[in-house]
Amino acid sequence: MPIQYYIFFCLTLFSIGVIGVLTRRNAIIVFMCVELMLNAVNLLLVAFSKMHHAAGLKIAATSTAGIDAQIFVFFIMVVAAAEVSVGLAIIVMMFRNTHSIDINFLNRLKN
């Protein structure tokens, strides 16, 4: 499978996430769209790692080229899990204070 197909697919998922962030007002949905973008990038990293691995195997048969990208993806998942727990705690706190999860309430930070 050519790498371009994977890039197109991941770009589509990423753009859907961007559109979600721009068009929805529910804070949880916006947060979920951020997760979607994160996942699209993860998949692209794995696809690039396999492309790199295929090139490395042509040079040496026992090459482990491309393994770093998969470890990066693992660490991205670790950070995403931590990020979601703190982010959802912030959303819950915001809901307790304003009884709404509309992100337009957050513009009071302006004043």
Partner 1 sequence: MSTLEILFYALSAFAVISAAMVLISKNPIHSVLWLILVFFAISGHYILLNAQFLAIVNIIVYAGAIMVLFLFVIMLMNVKSDNEPQKKLFTKFIGVLSGGSLLTLLIALVKQTVQLEGKEVMMKEGTIGLIHPLGKALFSDYVVPFEISSVLFLSAMVGAVIIGKK
Binding to partner 1, residues 54-83 (CB under 8 A): 54-55, 57, 64-68, 70-71, 73-75, 77-83
Among the listed residues 25, 41, 106, 108, the single contact to partner 1 using CB under 8 A: 25
**Which residue in the block uniquely carries the two structure tokens 């337009």?**
104
What's the rounded Cα separation, in Å, for the pair 66 and 72?
A: 10
Residue 41 touches partner 1, criterion: CB under 8 A: no
Nearest-approach distance from CB 35 to partner 1, in angstroms? 7
> Per rule CB under 8 A, is residue 16 in the interface with partner 1?
yes
Report the residue from 23, 34, 98, 107 that binds partner 1 according to the rule CB under 8 A.
Answer: 23
CA angle 92, 93, 99 (to 5 degrees): 80
Please give the Cα distance from 75 to 69 (Å, whole number). 10
Per CB under 8 A, the list member of 15, 59, 61, 108 interacting with partner 1 is 15
Q: Report the phi/psi class of residue 102: left, alpha or beta, with left for phi > 0 and alpha for psi in -120 to 50.
A: beta
